[in-house]
Chains A and B, each alone.
Chain A
Amino acid sequence: MDKKEWPLWEIFIRSKSGLSHKHAGSLHAADAEMAIEHARDVYTRRNEGVSIWVVKSSEVIASDPEDEYMFESAKTKIYRHPTFYDIPEEVGHM
């Protein structure tokens, strides 16, 4: 018989108010409620969080790592960075 495994969930934790949720790891749970509870037990045992997001791993859509030119165009646009512009030092911090 093909056993039905508990699906895998990706866990995101906000470590304190003001910061964004960050990927902490994954775990197995039968449903979303259980995933939240497990995430609390597994990933916040040492007071690491104030908020939890859970997302079914199968529902995460990722970019293709083989698509190596995807980020190429941004690399050459150095004028998007402040260091591209010459401002005399006397002007002070800008």
Chain B
Amino acid sequence: MDNHNNIHSLEAKFEAKIDSEIKIEPKDWMPESYRKTLIRQISQHAHSEVVGMLPEGNWILRAPSLRRKVALLAKVQDEAGHGLYLYSAAETLGISREELYQQLLTGKAKYSSIFNYPTLSWADIGAIGWLVDGAAIMNQVMLTRTSYGPYARAMVRICKEESFHQRQGYEILISLSRGNAEQKKMLQDAMDRWWWPALMMFGPHDSASTHSEQSIKWKIKRKSNDELRQDFIDATVLQANYLGVNIPDPKLKWNEERGHYDFGDIDWEEFWNVVNGNGPCNKQRIKDRKKAYEGGEWVREAAMAHAEKRAKRKEEKVA
């Protein structure tokens, strides 16, 4: 069989698997661009989990009760875990965690822009849980059916664990909504600042999204950005009403005919500005990650050096 034919038949076999919903596994043949797309998407997702620890971690030490403190700690810890599962899934595609870290720290790899906004009050922790995790879950539930096996398995685990995150956030906000005037103001202020960035989390309009079409064809993604965004808005309005909080969009209105909420225009200039590094906290987040990475280098090296010493001693004993 000549090489040309070979590639074609492999490609056909791959496409057939995708079409019949058979998962692709690490050692299976896959087109180079599928591999690259996956590495990009999974690592972006992993980086988001890890960078996402920072804005929420910002309030662990100041959490207003011990119950809130342990819940937040456990939640941020879960995010470290999720980052870890996802890095591991990416590693099955032949890239090391070290390389992935480097891509993040040098700005080559992106992460979710939402984490470039600051957490200014305790209400922001509630808003992140409710809106940001709520938006993320829309995406993540879809990804449990993604075509790449290790990614889908990581997402199943993540979705299971995430289920308390959104409730944790919403419960914080319920307390605020039943609280004093200062607490209610804190709640509305958080809503005003997080609503639009949360909508932006789903990415650009389908018409402007560069990777979407191919990703859907390969069943890496199974719903478009705009579909997911609409699902999220439809699910969230009722929850906002329950809190008695105002959604900062004068155009938001139920559309009987569509069976969906209509909503106002997203400020895409702001979106791209933050994506391109000019959000309020882009520099701070990367600086913090760099500090942890570089500051931890001697620890990781020491552990390796000790493991090698120990293995050698064991060998000598046997000999």
User: Do A and B contact each other directly (Cβ–Cβ < 8 Å)?
Assistant: yes
**Identity of the chain B residue whose Cβ is nearest the Cβ of A10 in the assembled complex:** B88
Distance in Å: Cβ of B35 to nearest Cβ of chain A: 15
Residues of chain B with a CB closer than 8 A to A93's CB: none
Q: Is the CB of B304 within 8 A of A65?
A: no
Number of A-B contacts (CB under 8 A): 49
User: Which residues of the partner chain B approach A34 to less than 8 Å between Cβ atoms?
Assistant: 303, 307
Is B81 a contact partner of A6 (Cβ separation < 8 A)? no
Known contacts A6-B300, A30-B306: does B25 contact A45 (CB below 8 Å)?
Answer: no
Q: A6-B300, A6-B304, A42-B81 are in contact. Are A28 and B29 (CB under 8 A)?
A: no
Contact for A65 among B27, B84, B97, CB less than 8 A:
B27
Contact size range, A: 10 to 19
| Distance in Å: Cβ of B78 to nearest Cβ of chain A | 8
Residues of B within 8 A of A4 (CB): 301, 304
Cross-chain contact A65 with B91 (CB below 8 angstroms): no
State A3–B96 Cα separation when bound (angstroms). Answer: 12
CB atoms of B161 and A25 under 8 A apart: no
- B154 part of interface (Cβ distance < 8 Å): yes
A6 to B301, CA, bound (A): 9
Q: How far is the CB of A30 from chain B (nearest CB, A)?
A: 4
Least Cβ distance of A23 to chain B in Å? 9
B-facing residues in A24-76 (Cβ within 8 Å): 25-28, 30-31, 34, 42, 45-46, 62, 64-66
A contact residues around B27 at 8 Å (CB) = 62, 64-65
Inter-chain CA distance A46–B161, complex, in Å, is 9
- Out of B28, B88, B297, B300, which one reaches A25, CB within 8 Å? B88
For the complex of A and B, the 8 pairs showing the least CB-CB separation, nearest first, are A30-B303, A31-B307, A30-B307, A26-B88, A65-B27, A4-B304, A5-B98, A65-B28
